[in-house]
Structures are given as structure tokens and as C-alpha cells.
């Protein structure tokens, strides 16, 4: 919440503890005016962090407006997913050894491969560029900010973000299986070379994909 003012931060934190609240309720909580609270709520709503909650009928008159947090606001609160992933990898290795970790990553890769095969066009009936563009769309949906970049006869799959960077740093098997996964789903008619690697100090991961 570094970019939020103290007042907006307190409103967000208070709504996190409640299902919803009205502006007057929040004003009473923070000993300020309804107008000031509504101004903060309007700004937070424009940012997509709060929204009006559906109001139940309350007899005569217009029901009071209740405000609640949106799903987008979850990004403002601490998240231990990355740390948990690293801890789980260490726990699996401690319990099952390096082979156990490798089997877990292989199983995850197999699930990805099945999903990608269902979504990608048939290699026998599509061009390499079409397949790489579709793969980039799938990877972007997973958080990789991927794009397909044509360069003459080659196509580059460029991933500008790695949502599993901490886990990949703890276990290089993720990166190794990633290249094998791309090779498997894009088809035997392509050759794949990793030309940039985030964990090697580059600013992104990139793969050159060439028709054989």
C-alpha cells in the first residue's frame, strides 16, 4: 500500500476486517466527516480497489450504500506464495530427495503439457508462428507476460515476467523442464534455443524457435 495515503490505507485495512461498511460508519470509526470518507472511497473505486456492495431492501427510502473491497485489493496485502513454494521444495527434497523434487516438477510439467496440447492448434495443420503466438497467449494468462516476436524465418517466445521466479531459483529443474515442455507442444518440426535467461542475469527469458 505504499502509494496510498494514510487515510486510504486505513479505509482499506478496515474494510478488510468487515464484509462491508457505509461511509458514515467509516467516518465514525476514523472520527472524520462523511464527505471526506466518500472522497477517499471515490478515488479507491476509480482505482478498482473498492466497489459498492449490493444493497438489500430496507423498507422505505433509499438503502444506505455499503462499500467492500474488490479482488484487486488482495495485491495490497502480504502474500507468502513465493516463500511457501520455496519452503515446499525444500521440504520435498528433505523428505524424498532430489529425485522426489524432480518427479514433482515432471508431474506438473505433464499437466501443463496436456493443457497446452488441448489449446494449441495441430502442428500438422498450422504454421510455427501461429503456434508460438497461441503459446504466448497461454503463458500470458499464467502470468508470464509473454509475446511472440517474428524475426525473419525465426520466431522468438519472449517472457517478460516469471511468476515462479523464487521457486525456479530454488530449483533449476523448473527451467530445464520448461524448454522441454515447449519443444514437446510446439512439435518436432521446430528447434528451440534459450537465448536469454532471467536466472542467468538477463532481464527476461527468451527462446529462439526455428523451423527444422
User: Left if phi > 0, otherwise alpha if psi is -120 to 50, otherwise beta: which for 201?
Assistant: left
Cα–Cα distance between 135 and 157 in angstroms, integer?
Answer: 8
Residues 6+ positions from 32 with CB-CB distance below 8 Å: 7
Residues 207 and 194 sit within 8 Å (Cβ to Cβ): yes
User: What confidence score (pLDDT) does residue 151 get?
Assistant: 92
Domain extents for the chain?
6-76, 81-211
User: What confidence score (pLDDT) does residue 144 get?
Assistant: 93
C-alpha cell at position 149: 516476436
pLDDT block averages, 10 residues each, the chain of length 212: 81 90 94 95 95 73 87 82 88 94 95 96 91 96 94 94 90 92 94 95 94 88
Domain at 6-76: CATH architecture: Orthogonal Bundle (1.10)
Q: What is the pTM of this model?
A: 0.68
Residues 208 and 156 sit within 8 Å (Cβ to Cβ): yes
According to CATH, the topology of domain 81-211 is Muramoyl-pentapeptide Carboxypeptidase; domain 2 (3.30.1380)
User: What confidence score (pLDDT) does residue 57 get?
Assistant: 59
Amino acid at each position: 500500500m505504499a502509494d496510498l495515503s494514510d487515510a486510504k490505507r486505513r479505509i482499506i485495512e478496515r474494510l478488510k476486517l468487515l464484509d462491508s461498511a457505509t461511509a458514515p460508519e467509516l467516518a465514525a470509526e476514523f472520527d472524520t466527516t462523511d464527505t471526506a470518507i466518500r472522497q477517499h472511497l471515490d478515488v479507491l473505486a476509480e482505482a478498482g480497489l473498492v466497489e459498492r456492495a449490493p444493497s438489500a431492501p430496507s423498507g422505505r427510502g433509499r438503502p444506505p450504500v455499503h462499500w467492500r473491497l474488490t479482488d484487486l485489493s488482495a495485491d495490497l496485502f502480504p502474500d507468502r506464495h513465493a516463500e511457501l513454494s520455496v519452503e515446499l521444495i525444500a521440504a520435498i527434497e528433505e523428505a524424498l530427495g532430489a529425485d522426489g523434487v524432480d518427479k514433482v516438477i515432471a508431474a506438473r510439467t505433464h499437466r501443463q503439457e496436456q493443457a497446452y496440447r488441448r489449446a494449441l492448434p495441430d502442428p500438422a495443420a498450422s504454421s510455427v508462428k501461429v503456434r508460438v503466438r497461441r503459446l504466448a497467449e497461454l503463458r500470458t494468462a499464467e502470468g508470464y507476460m509473454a509475446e511472440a516476436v517474428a524475426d525473419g524465418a525465426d520466431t522468438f517466445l519472449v517472457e517478460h515476467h516469471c511468476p515462479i521466479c523464487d521457486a525456479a531459483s530454488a530449483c533449476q529443474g523448473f527451467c530445464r523442464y520448461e524448454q522441454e515442455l515447449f519443444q514437446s507442444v510446439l512439435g518436432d518440426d521446430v528447434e528451440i534455443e534459450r537465448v536469454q535467461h532471467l536466472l542467468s542475469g538477463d532481464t527476461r527469458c527468451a527462446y529462439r524457435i526455428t523451423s527444422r
